[in-house]
Structures are given as structure tokens and as C-alpha cells.
Amino acid sequence: MALRIAVFGQAAFGRDVAVRLAEAGHNVVAVHVPPDSGSRADPLAEEAEKQGWPLFRHKAYRRKGVALPQRIEEYRGHEADLNVMAFTTVILPPEIVDGPRLGSLCFHPSLLPVFRGGNALAWQIILGAEEAGVTVFRPDEGVDTGPIVIQKGGVQIAHDATSASLYFDHLYPLGVEAMAEAVESVASGIAEFRPQDESKASFQGLVDEAAARLDWSLPGQELDRRVRGCDPQPGAWAEREGEVVRFYGGTLESDVTHGKKAGLVLAPSEEGHLRVAAEGDCVLRIARIRLAGGPKVAALESGLQSGDQLL
């Protein structure tokens, strides 16, 4: 059964989900994408213009917790059967979430109920999860708490995975498949929604500047996970003489008896990586550095030198 679908999302993931649904014969009656925040155009918005799908670019749908009437009236004009939320970051009011006769489906890049929240990719790496996956669920009034319709797991998190590699190499393609499968199950009337097991639930907040700060008293394994979890955003950081230094492309050397204070910059690796002493006979290897206000550069071109102490 072909459905009238309103897509709320962004980026290449949102584009690929919308295209898959259109190719499956569904009618994309509206595409909602946040306004561009930089110089790069959003791929989902570009696809909507290319396909002739009605495109809406709103920064917010409610103010002070109350739905904006003009947004609700506009949305009702779509006459959608189903909302598909493909990595949306805007907060939608219940009048929209519960508006269609078949409700809404939302994508989340973890095996719910674990790693609820807006930075699930980063926290899975930071907290040392071994397996990742994706979930498609029906959103309710909670944060990632609604009943699950499709879940796909089995992704082993590699020892050198970053948030970017975990997403783009594994969870992105898996998520597109999960979204398409979930919509088809709803369209055919065979979807089964199961409640989340609250006894296994966990929630993590956003990875802000405080969460991305490196604490050199922690074991090197934890620092390594934080560097990789915060790559590419916001970038795990430390200070050198009061200047913020952000780390990218991190790997870990273990069983290294360096006898140095944690945070001390050591001699570089043969591959040209910056090496930093860490607790637990570990050394962090860093491929790229970004100093405050500057671009990412090769670590050895950043000006950091052997003997510098990072705090």
C-alpha cells in the first residue's frame, strides 16, 4: 500500500531514506529540513528541490513548549498518512508527531533502550560498548522511549572506531535499510510495536565541552575512547599554556613503559603522529590537531613539540 509520507530530517541520510521510500512507490508529500547553518547546502533539501517535493525550512515548530499554530496548520495541509523522522534534530510538537493516522517513525543510532539521547554515537565509543546497531521506533513524549518496530544490530565496534567511522561505515547504511523496512511493515499492516525494557535503559546527555575535556588522571584506554568518541565533533581537548588543543585521528599504544607524567608530549611516531604519555603504560597517538580558532592540521604541523605538557 502506497502511503503519503512527510519526511522530517536532514543530510545525506535523510536524502537516502526519502529516495528509498519514493522508489518503493510512496508519495513524499512534504520534506522538512532545518535551515542551512553554513555554506554547504543540505543534501535532503537539494533532493527535494530536484524531485519537486514540497520543501519546508523551519528552525522551530514550537515556542516555550507550545506548538506554533502556523506550523500546525501548514502540517495538516500535507494530509500525510505517516511521518518519517530521518535524523531530525528539531523538536516537534505532539500535534505533528501524533498527527497522521499511522503516527510517526523515528530513527535512532543505538540499540534502544541503551544510549538514549542526542549523542548516542559518541557515547557508545566513550563508554566502551562492544556492539552497536540501529532502532526505528514510534516516538512518544519521552526522549527515545517509544515502542520499537525494527531493530538491527550485530555491528562490532572496532578498537579504532570513531563516531564518524561507526556511523558512515556501518550504522548509516543499516539505518537506511531499517527505515525502509519499518515503513513497509507499517504500510502492509504487519508492523508489531514492542515496548522498550526500562530495566535496561540508559540515557546520556549531549557531548558538550565539559564531556570532551581530557582528564589526564584517567587510564589511557579511557582517554583513547574519549578522543575517538568526540571525533569529528566536538573534538576531545586539553590545554597547552592556556590554549585549547583538540585531538583527532587517535589510536592507542599500550604496554609502553614511558615513565613520564601523563599529558607530556613524547617523541613522534615513525608514522608522523604526535605521541602523548598517558596513565597505565599507555601512549595516545594523534594524527590531527586543531588549535583554538584554526583548522585541523597534521599533528606534527601544529606547533606542539616533544616536552610540551598538556593539562
Structural domain tally of the chain? 2
Domain C-terminal end among 200, 224, 257: 200
The answer to whether residues 93 and 110 belong to one domain is: yes
Report in angstroms the alpha-carbon separations of 144 from 106, 198, 201, 229, 250: 9, 11, 10, 20, 30
Instruction: Examine residue 308 and state whether it is found in any structural domain, yes or no.
Output: no
Chain Cα centroid distance, residue 133:
12
Domain C-terminal end among 166, 200, 234: 200
Question: What is the residue range of 135's domain?
Answer: 4-200
The answer to whether residues 192 and 216 belong to one domain is: no
Question: In this structure, what CATH number is given to the domain that contains residue 35?
Answer: 3.40.50.170
Cβ–Cβ under 8 Å, residues 110 and 33: no
pLDDT score recorded for residue 182: 98
pTM for the full predicted model: 0.94
Cβ–Cβ under 8 Å, residues 300 and 268: yes
Instruction: Examine residue 45 and state whether it is found in any structural domain, yes or no.
Output: yes
The answer to whether residues 104 and 251 belong to one domain is: no
The answer to whether residues 187 and 265 belong to one domain is: no
The answer to whether residues 11 and 100 belong to one domain is: yes
Instruction: Examine residue 28 and state whether it is found in any structural domain, yes or no.
Output: yes
The answer to whether residues 191 and 251 belong to one domain is: no
Instruction: Examine residue 310 and state whether it is found in any structural domain, yes or no.
Output: no
Locate the DSSP E strands across the chain. 4-9, 27-32, 55-56, 62-63, 66-67, 82-86, 104-108, 131-137, 148-156, 236-240, 243-253, 265-266, 274-278, 282-291, 296-298
The answer to whether residues 151 and 248 belong to one domain is: no
The answer to whether residues 12 and 155 belong to one domain is: yes
Instruction: Examine residue 60 and state whether it is found in any structural domain, yes or no.
Output: yes
Cβ–Cβ under 8 Å, residues 17 and 84: yes
Instruction: Examine residue 221 and state whether it is found in any structural domain, yes or no.
Output: yes
pLDDT score recorded for residue 65: 85
Instruction: Measure the CA–CA gap between 96 and 21, rounded to whole angstroms.
Output: 20
Q: What is the mean pLDDT of each run of 10 residues along the chain (311 residues)?
A: 97 98 98 89 97 97 92 97 94 96 98 97 98 98 96 97 98 98 98 98 97 98 98 97 96 92 95 95 97 93 96 97
- The helix/strand/coil state of 150 is strand
Cβ–Cβ under 8 Å, residues 85 and 60: no
The answer to whether residues 183 and 240 belong to one domain is: no
The answer to whether residues 39 and 130 belong to one domain is: yes
Instruction: Measure the CA–CA gap between 239 and 197, rounded to whole angstroms.
Output: 41
pLDDT score recorded for residue 115: 98
Domain C-terminal end among 200, 227, 245: 200
Instruction: Examine residue 160 and state whether it is found in any structural domain, yes or no.
Output: yes
Sign of CA dihedral 59, 62, 63, 64: negative
Instruction: Examine residue 214 and state whether it is found in any structural domain, yes or no.
Output: yes
The answer to whether residues 193 and 215 belong to one domain is: no
pLDDT score recorded for residue 207: 97
Question: In this structure, what CATH number is given to the domain that contains residue 226?
Answer: 3.10.25.10
The answer to whether residues 105 and 194 belong to one domain is: yes
